[in-house]
């Protein structure tokens, strides 16, 4: 009979995002997906960085609260907030709001705060990090922006552009320590956290 004490802890992605799920699948390790029920409204006077960090931890803790007593899991929470000139940019949800976002950002540099939390449900220890990506948008015409939105419909993406798809054509430059951060889940930071937590990342293939 296999020794259950040597099994790695359960890994849970606390997210409803298909993009984060697809990114985590790149690591080829087993994980479950549980959707946290939290209010993602920024607090009054809260900085974009603080919003992203708070929500990433809140998502992980919301999932941890629903686990069975004594169950150990490593729970991944993540949140992304975009900002330019001090304005926070959320998910547009509609075509008109997405177009307004892209019009406001063209020719500008936008900061994407991709916050990550790894929570150990047994010890309640939570490690968090904010990975910043600087993105400069091209100054494209209204017609080009409208055509892009109709093609890719990125209405569930902060910033209204999918950098992993056609949205890359809207961008003039990307600067980041982690190329996956802009898509929504910083895998370099996450693998660092998992290895530090003793998760057998490479041995679990």
Phi, psi of 10 (to 5 degrees): -60, 135
User: How far is the C-alpha of 72 from the C-alpha of 70, rounded, in Å?
Assistant: 6
Active-site residue, selected from the candidate residues 39, 79, 124, 156:
79
Distance, CA of 104 to CA of 99 (rounded, Å): 9
Contact 154, 101 (CB under 8 A): no
50: annotated active-site residue = no
Q: Which long-range contacts (CB under 8 A, 24 or more apart) does 16-22 make?
A: 17/78, 17/156, 17/184, 19/157, 19/164, 19/183, 19/184, 19/185, 20/78, 20/184, 20/185
Residue 116 is given by DSSP the state E
Q: Phi, psi (5° rounding) for residue 198?
A: 85, 15
Q: Please, which contacts does 150-155 make with residues 24 or more away whose CB atoms are closer than 8 Å? A: 150/95, 153/95, 154/98, 155/91, 155/92, 155/93, 155/94, 155/95, 155/97, 155/98
Catalytic residues: 79
């Amino acid at each position: 009979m296999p020794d259950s004490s040597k099994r790695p802890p359960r890994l849970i992605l606390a997210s409803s995002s298909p993009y984060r799920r697809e990114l985590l699948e790149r690591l080829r390790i087993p994980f479950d997906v549980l959707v946290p029920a939290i209010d993602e409204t920024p607090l009054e006077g809260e900085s974009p960085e603080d919003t992203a960090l708070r929500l990433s931890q809140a998502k992980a803790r919301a999932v941890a609260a629903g686990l069975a007593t004594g169950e150990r899991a490593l729970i991944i929470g993540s949140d992304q907030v975009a900002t330019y000139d001090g304005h926070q940019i959320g998910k547009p949800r509609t075509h008109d709001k997405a177009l307004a976002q892209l019009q406001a950002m063209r020719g500008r540099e936008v900061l994407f705060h991709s916050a990550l939390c790894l929570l150990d449900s047994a010890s309640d220890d939570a490690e968090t990090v904010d990975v910043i990506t600087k993105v400069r948008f091209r100054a494209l015409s209204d017609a080009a922006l409208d055509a892009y939105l109709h093609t890719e419909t990125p209405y569930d993406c902060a910033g209204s552009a999918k950098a992993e798809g056609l949205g890359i054509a809207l961008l003039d430059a990307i600067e980041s320590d982690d190329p996956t951060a802009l898509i929504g889940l910083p895998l370099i930071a996450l693998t660092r956290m998992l290895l530090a937590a003793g998760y057998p990342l490479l041995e679990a293939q």
